């Protein structure tokens, strides 16, 4: 596939490197999978995906401000700003067919970045995998201001997020909670375009746990209303972070979907 020259005009390499970590290194990838983490999450969520994906799939994981080696940067609390900045930083990486994977809040981010790429360049990702997320036009945001720090930590641990034991350390919690709260505020302020006004061309695959306390299966299925390019779904046993338990099966699904396209 030959991409338009304007799509490949390169954003500064240093800026792009700040936003993405190449988790799966391969010299001859066929497709690039760009992954977006959950609220408060980081690129390290996708670090172990190297074990389950073939060399034909290269993984780029988004690293957002206010976490990991960007923890000194202020968080972004508006979806339009975040999606604009990510879409710009992605430009050097669009020389291959590519797909998006987002978990929880990362699904909304993936959707908004895809919208921008389709609007600007006429096409976007070949597929979007949305995981653990209600469709943005039906989901109810969490009222983060109702949680003090101990209650917020307890809620995140109840949901089964990875590495939440770090929040038991007061010093680490002081570093991690601001990004988490900022992400929840971003989610609460997010107002998506209604499906009757705009839909994606990219096909969407919705993935959800059957006991997710935040995402009823029927709300995950509403992603079908946001694409004209085809929709399918898979329900896994488990809760909001079902993907930790079912990673091998999930990666097999991603591999079969992307490498058969």
Per-residue confidence (pLDDT) for residue 14, from 0 to 100:
53
Beta bridge partners of 20: 62
Catalytic residue among 93, 103, 240, 246: 240
- Measured CA to CA, the distance from residue 3 to residue 138 in angstroms comes to 34
Per-residue confidence (pLDDT) for residue 3, from 0 to 100:
34
Least confident residue range of 64-73, 94-103, 105-114 = 64-73
* pLDDT tens by residue, 197-238: 789 999 999 999 999 999 999 999 999 999 999 999 999 999
Per-residue confidence (pLDDT) for residue 221, from 0 to 100:
98
Catalytic, 228? Answer no
Of the CA atoms within 13 Å of residue 253, those in its CB half-sphere come to 20
Contact indicator for 167, 158 with CB cutoff of 8 Å: no
Q: How confident is the model at residue 123 (pLDDT cuts 50, 70, 90)?
A: confident
> CA nearest 199: which of 229, 222, 221?
229
Per-residue confidence (pLDDT) for residue 73, from 0 to 100:
93
* pLDDT tens by residue, 43-98: 888 988 877 899 899 999 999 999 888 988 999 999 999 999 999 999 999 999 99
Catalytic, 163? Answer no
Statement: residue 22 has pLDDT above 90? no
Per-residue confidence (pLDDT) for residue 9, from 0 to 100:
38
What pTM does this model have?
Answer: 0.91
Q: How confident is the model at residue 24 (pLDDT cuts 50, 70, 90)?
A: low
* pLDDT tens by residue, 146-185: 889 999 999 999 999 888 888 999 999 988 899 999 999 9
Which domains occur in the chain, in start order?
A: 5-259 (3.40.50.1820)
- Measured CA to CA, the distance from residue 61 to residue 207 in angstroms comes to 18
Sequence-distant (≥ 6) Cβ neighbours of residue 64 within 8 angstroms: 19, 37, 42, 70, 75, 76, 82, 179
Name the strand (E) or helix (H) holding 248. Answer: helix 247-259
Catalytic residue among 104, 107, 134, 187: 104
Per-residue confidence (pLDDT) for residue 44, from 0 to 100:
86
Give mean pLDDT, residues 100-109.
98
Statement: residue 25 has pLDDT above 90? no
């Amino acid at each position: 596939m030959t991409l338009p020259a304007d799509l490949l005009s390169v954003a500064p390499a240093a800026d792009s490197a700040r936003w993405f970590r190449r988790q799966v290194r391969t010299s001859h990838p066929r497709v690039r999978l760009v992954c977006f983490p959950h609220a408060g999450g980081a690129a390290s969520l996708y670090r172990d995906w190297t074990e389950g994906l073939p060399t034909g799939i290269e993984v780029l994981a988004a690293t957002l401000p206010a976490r990991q080696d960007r923890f000194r940067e202020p968080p972004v609390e508006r979806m339009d700003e975040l999606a604009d900045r990510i879409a710009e930083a992605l430009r050097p990486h669009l020389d291959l067919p590519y797909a998006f994977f987002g978990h929880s809040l990362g699904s909304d981010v993936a959707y908004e970045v895809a919208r921008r790429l389709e609007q600007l360049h006429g096409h976007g990702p070949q597929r979007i995998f949305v995981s653990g997320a209600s469709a943005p036009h039906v989901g109810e945001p969490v009222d983060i201001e109702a949680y003090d720090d101990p209650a917020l930590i307890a809620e995140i641990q109840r949901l089964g997020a990875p590495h939440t034991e770090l929040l038991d350390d007061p010093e680490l919690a002081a570093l991690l909670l601001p990004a988490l709260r900022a992400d929840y505020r971003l989610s609460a302020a997010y107002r998506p375009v209604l499906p009757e006004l705009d839909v994606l061309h990219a096909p969407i695959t919705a993935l959800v746990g059957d006991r997710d306390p935040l995402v009823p299966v029927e709300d995950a299925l509403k992603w079908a209303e946001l694409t004209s390019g085809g929709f399918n779904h898979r329900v896994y046993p488990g809760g909001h972070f079902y993907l930790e338990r079912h990673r091998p099966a999930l990666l097999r699904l991603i591999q079969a979907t992307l490498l058969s396209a």
